[in-house]
Amino acid sequence: MSDPLLSCDPCSSANPKSLRVRLTLSFLGVIVATAGLVVVMATLITANRFTYMVSSAGQRYAWRLAPLFSEYYVQTGGWGGVEALVARWEPVGQRPGRPAPRAEMLLNARDERLLLLDANGQLIADSDPQGEPVRLLPASLDKGAPILVNGQQVGTLIVASGLGRLTSYQDTFLRQANRLMLIAGVVAVLAVLAVSGFQARRIVAPVRALAEAARQVASGDLSQRVSVTSQDELGEMAIAFNTMAAELERQHELRHRAMADIAHELRTPLSVLQIQLESIEDGLTVPTPEVIAGLQTDVAHLRRLVDDLRVLSLAEAGELQMETEPVEMVNLIQDVVNRVQGAARAKGITLDTRVPDTALPVTGDPQRLAQVLLNLLSNAIQHTLSDGQITVSAQRVEENGEHGEEVQVTVQDTGEGIPVEDLPHVFERFYRTDRARSRETGGSGLGLSITRSLVEAHGGRLWAHSTEDKGSAFIFALPLSYDIE
C-alpha cells in the first residue's frame, strides 16, 4: 500500500496552491525581504561609518604631518621647491619596536594623496597631479591641518582621505566587506529556504495524514486514526479527529446494534402472532379467550415498543411535545410511589420515601416527569429480590460549579447491582446488563434511554452509582424553580 503522504493527490507539493508550497514561499518571501533590507542597511551603514573613520583618520594624519611642512617652510623661507618634496613624499618611518600609529593602521599611507595649499587657500602642490582632480571647497579647509610658522598660518595640508575620498586600498576593502555581507545574505536565504522546507513538510505531513484519514472515514472506514506527533495545535487537531472518529465508530456500532435489537424485538412477537394466526386459520388452534388474550398481549408489546421508539426519537431530536407547568416534586414523588406500591408489596419489597417538609418546585411536564420516576422505580423493582428495599429520596442542592440550584431525586435499591464494565452503558438504547435476558424478564432495553432523554429535555441530568450484589442508585437533577414557592 502506498504511503498517502507520498502519493500524488490534490495536496501534493507539486501543486502550486498546496499548503507546503505556500508556507515555503511565505517563509522565503519574508526572509528575502528581511535579508535584503538587512544587507542594504548594513552596506549603507558600513560605507557611512567606514568613510567617517577614514576621513577622521586622514585628518589626524594631516595634523601629524603638518609640523614637517612647517619646518620645511622655516628652512627654505617659503614654498619654493615644495612640489618636488610632495611628489617624492613617503610616510615617515617608525621607530624599531614601536607599533604603527592607528591612523597608519587604518590608512595605506603609501597610497595617500597630499594636497598643500598656501595661506590664501590656493593649491600649490599635489602628490598625485595626474590623478582625478579634487574639487576644493571653502569647507574643505576645515578638514585639513593648518601649517603654522611663528603663530601665523602659512598654508594648509589636506590628506585626500580626510575629505572622504577613499584610496584604492580602502575602496577594495569596502567592496570586499559589501561582498561578504551579500554572500552572508544569500547563505541566510538558502539556510532559511532549507529550514522552511523542512518545517513546511513537518506542518503539512500531519495535515495530509488527517485529510487522508478523513477521506477514509467518509468512505465508511471508521477505524481510521492519525498519529499524535506534537503537543501544539496540530496535535490538538489530531486528538480531536481521533475523538470524533472514535465517537462516530461508537455511534455506528450503537446504530447497528439498535437496528439488530429492533428487528429482534419486532420479529419475536410478530412470529408468535403469525404462528398463532396460521394455526387458527388451519383449524389447529381454537380461538379461545385465552388464545386471543395471548395475541392481545403480543400486540400490546409491539405497541409499547413502537411508542417507546417514537418517544425516544422525538426526545433526542428535541421535538417531543411537552406541556410545561410548575410542578411540586414532593407531591409528584408521593403520587408515583403510591402507584407502584402494590407491585412492590406483591414482590415482598419495602418501598420507603424520604422527602423534606419544604417544597421542591421545578418547571416541567408532570406526566413526563412522572414517567421518569415510574421508569426508575419499575427498573428498581425488577432488579430487587424479595425482602429487599427501595428508597426514594429528594433534596435541594445549592449551586455547585457550573450547575445552579437543583432538585435531586434518588432511587436507591438493594438489588443485584450493575457490573462495573456495564455501568457506563446502562443508558444506551437496547442495552441489557445480562445479554441472556429475554424481553419478558429484561424488558426491551429502552426504559433508561427514554428516562435520560426526558430528563435532558427538562434541562436536567441523570447518572447512576452501583455496587455489584449490593444495589444501585439512580439520581436525576432538575433546575430549581421559584414559580410555586
pLDDT top residue among 191 and 380: 380
Where helices occur in 283-410 by DSSP H, the ranges are 289-317, 329-346, 366-382
Residues 241, 247, 249, 253, Cα dihedral to 10°: 180
Cα–chain-centroid distance for residue 294? 62
What CATH number is associated with residue 427? 3.30.565.10
Shared-domain flag, residues 304 and 334? no
- For residue 231, tell me if it sits in a domain: no
Shared-domain flag, residues 285 and 329? no
Q: How many CB atoms lie under 10 A from the CB of residue 156?
A: 25
Mean predicted confidence (pLDDT) in 62-77: 87
Residue 483 binned pLDDT confidence (cut-offs 50, 70, 90): low
Shared-domain flag, residues 130 and 52? yes
Q: Is 180 helix (H, G, I), strand (E, B) or coil?
A: helix
Range of the domain at 264: 241-317
Q: What is the pLDDT of residue 132?
A: 76
Examine the pLDDT at 266 and tell me if it is beyond 80: no
Shared-domain flag, residues 56 and 191? yes
Shared-domain flag, residues 203 and 61? yes
Shared-domain flag, residues 334 and 444? yes
Q: What is the pLDDT of residue 279?
A: 86
Shared-domain flag, residues 215 and 255? no
Residue 411 binned pLDDT confidence (cut-offs 50, 70, 90): very high
pLDDT, tens digit (0-9, with 9 covering 90-100), for 368-400: 899 899 989 999 998 899 889 999 999 998 876
- For residue 233, tell me if it sits in a domain: no
Give residue for cell 477505524.
223
- For residue 64, tell me if it sits in a domain: yes
Q: CA 272 to CA 411: how far, in whole Å?
A: 36
Q: Which amino acid is at 239?
A: I
Of the candidates 373, 368, 308, the one whose C-alpha atom is nearest the C-alpha of residue 339 is 373
Shared-domain flag, residues 382 and 443? yes
Q: What is the pLDDT of residue 329?
A: 93
Shared-domain flag, residues 287 and 342? no
Q: Name the helix (H) or strand (E) containing 409.
A: strand 406-413
Q: Residue 435 is placed in which grid cell?
A: 445479554
pLDDT, tens digit (0-9, with 9 covering 90-100), for 414-465: 988 888 888 888 887 766 665 444 444 445 567 788 888 889 988 999 999 9
Report how many domains make up the chain.
3
Q: Are 328 and 360 within 8 A, CB to CB?
A: yes
Q: CA 456 to CA 448: how far, in whole Å?
A: 12
Q: What is the pLDDT of residue 7?
A: 41
Q: What is the pLDDT of residue 93?
A: 42
Of the candidates 143, 84, 153, the one whose C-alpha atom is nearest the C-alpha of residue 120 is 153
Q: CA 440 to CA 14: how far, in whole Å?
A: 65
Q: Is 476 helix (H, G, I), strand (E, B) or coil?
A: strand
What CATH number is associated with residue 283? 1.10.287.130
Mean pLDDT of the chain: 79
- For residue 229, tell me if it sits in a domain: no
Q: What is the pLDDT of residue 13?
A: 44
Shared-domain flag, residues 275 and 294? yes
Domain final residue, candidates 317, 340, 357: 317
pLDDT top residue among 342 and 130: 342
| Percent of the residues in the chain that have a pLDDT greater than 90, as a whole number | 17
Q: What is the pLDDT of residue 199?
A: 73
- For residue 12, tell me if it sits in a domain: yes
Shared-domain flag, residues 335 and 385? yes
Residues 192, 198, 202, 203, Cα dihedral to 10°: 40
Q: Are 86 and 65 within 8 A, CB to CB?
A: no
Shared-domain flag, residues 123 and 40? yes
- Angle, vertex CA 479, rays to CA 453 and CA 376, nearest 5: 45
Domain final residue, candidates 317, 341, 362: 317
- For residue 230, tell me if it sits in a domain: no
Number of helical (H) and strand (E) elements in the chain, helices listed first? 10, 11
Where helices occur in 318-431 by DSSP H, the ranges are 329-346, 366-382
Examine the pLDDT at 131 and tell me if it is beyond 70: yes
Q: Residue 394 is placed in which grid cell?
A: 429528594
Q: What is the pLDDT of residue 414?
A: 93
Residue 69 binned pLDDT confidence (cut-offs 50, 70, 90): confident
- For residue 367, tell me if it sits in a domain: yes
Mean predicted confidence (pLDDT) in 106-130: 75
Domain final residue, candidates 221, 255, 273: 221
Check residue 464 and report its DSSP letter.
E
Q: What is the pLDDT of residue 91?
A: 52
Residue 289 binned pLDDT confidence (cut-offs 50, 70, 90): confident
- For residue 411, tell me if it sits in a domain: yes
